[in-house]
Amino acid sequence: MVIKQLDELGQSIFEQRYAYPGEKTYGERCKPMAKHAASAEKEGDIEKYEKRFYESLNTGDFIPGGRIIYGSGRVKQNLLNCYAIEPEDSVESIGKTIQDMYKISCGGGGIGFNFSKIRPKGDDIGNVQNSAPGSVSVMKMINEVGNHVKAGKNRRTALMAQLGVSHPDLLEFLHVKLDLAQLNNFNISVAITDRFIEACENGEDWSFRFNNRPYYVYQCNRVSPDGTTEHINIVGLNEGDAVSRGKLHHLNHPDDKFEDIEKVQFKAIDLWNRIWENAVESGDPGIFNISLTNRYTNMSYFLEMNATNPCGEIPLDSYANCCLGHINLSNMVTEDNSDLDWKLLARTIRTGIRFLDNILTVNHYPIEECRVAGERSRRIGLGTLGLHHMLIKLGITYGSDKCLEFLERLYSTIRDEAYLASMYISRDKGPFPEFSSKKYLDEEFARTLPARIRMLIKENGIRNAVMLTAAPTGTVSMVHGASTGIEPIFAPMYNRRVKEGNSSRQTMVLDPMFKKALEEGSDGRHIVGAYDITPEQHLAVQATVQRYTDNAISKTVNLPADASHEEVSRMALKYANYLKGMTVYRAGSKGQEPLEAIPLTDENIAIARQMIKDDLAIAEQAPDACLIGDGNCGS
pLDDT tens-digit series, residues 346-402: 999 999 999 999 999 999 999 999 999 999 999 999 999 999 999 999 999 999 999
359's CB contacts (< 8 A; 6+ apart) are 37, 40, 64, 68, 79, 80, 323, 380
In this predicted structure, what is the pLDDT of residue 284? 93
Is residue 630 pLDDT above 50, yes or no?
A: no
Hey, is 289 helix, strand or coil?
Answer: strand
pLDDT at 408 over 60: yes
Q: What share of the chain is helix, strand, coil (3-state, %, to 5)?
A: 40, 20, 40
Q: Quick one: pLDDT at residue 216?
A: 94
Task: Check pLDDT > 60 for residue 60.
Answer: yes
Over residues 451-477, the mean pLDDT reads 97
Give the pLDDT score at 502.
Answer: 74
Taking the CA atoms of the chain, what radius of gyration do you get in angstroms?
25
DSSP 8-state code for residue 255 = T
Q: What is the share, in percent, of the chain residues with pLDDT greater than 70?
A: 96
Residue 151's pLDDT is what? 61
Report the half-sphere exposure of 400 (CA within 13 A, side-chain side). 13
How far CA 38 is from CA of 42, 48, 358, in Å, comes to 9, 8, 7
Q: Distance of CA 26 to CAs 4, 5, 33, Å?
A: 8, 8, 11
Question: What average pLDDT does this structure show over 554-577?
Answer: 96
Tell me: cis bond preceding 285? Omega within 30 of 0 counts.
yes
Rounded to an integer, what distance in angstroms lies between the CA atom of residue 33 and that of residue 351?
A: 13
Mean pLDDT of 107-115: 95
pLDDT at position 8 is: 87
Name the residue among 120, 157, 136, 82 with its Cα closest to residue 370: 82
Q: Would you place residue 177 in the very low, low, confident or very high pLDDT band (cuts 50, 70, 90)?
A: confident
Contacts of 530 (CB under 8 A, 6+ apart): 487, 488, 489, 490, 491, 558, 625
Contact between residue 120 and residue 235 where contact means Cβ atoms under 8 Å apart = yes
Sign of the four-CA dihedral 303, 210, 206, 556: negative
Distance CA 287, CA 275 (A): 9
pLDDT confidence of residue 318: 98
pLDDT of 43 higher than 70 = yes
Q: Rounded to whole angstroms, how far apart are CA atoms 35 and 24?
A: 18
613, HSE (Cβ side, Cα atoms, 13 Å): 7
- Full-model pTM: 0.94
Of 146-160, 316-330, 473-487, 541-555, least confident by mean pLDDT is 146-160
Question: CA-to-CA distance for 402 and 248, rounded, in angstroms?
Answer: 58
Provide mean pLDDT across the span 227-233. 91
Q: What is the mean pLDDT of the chain?
A: 93
* C-alpha–C-alpha distance, residues 80 and 77, integer Å: 9
Percent of the chain with pLDDT over 90: 85
Question: pLDDT at residue 152 above 60?
Answer: no
Q: Identify the weakest region by mean pLDDT among 145-154, 255-264, 281-290, 348-357.
A: 145-154
pLDDT at 1: 63
- Dist. CA 27–CA 213, nearest whole Å: 59
CA–CA separation, 376 and 380 (whole Å)? 12
pLDDT, residue 2, reads 65
Does residue 418 contact residue 464 with C-beta atoms inside 8 Å? no
Least confident piece of the model among 14-18, 346-350, 411-415, 626-630: 626-630
In this prediction, residues 261-274 reach a mean pLDDT of 94
Is pLDDT above 70 for 3? no
Number of C-beta neighbours around residue 413 at 10 A: 16
Looking at residue 414, what is its pLDDT?
A: 98
State which H helix or E strand residue 586 sits in: strand 581-586
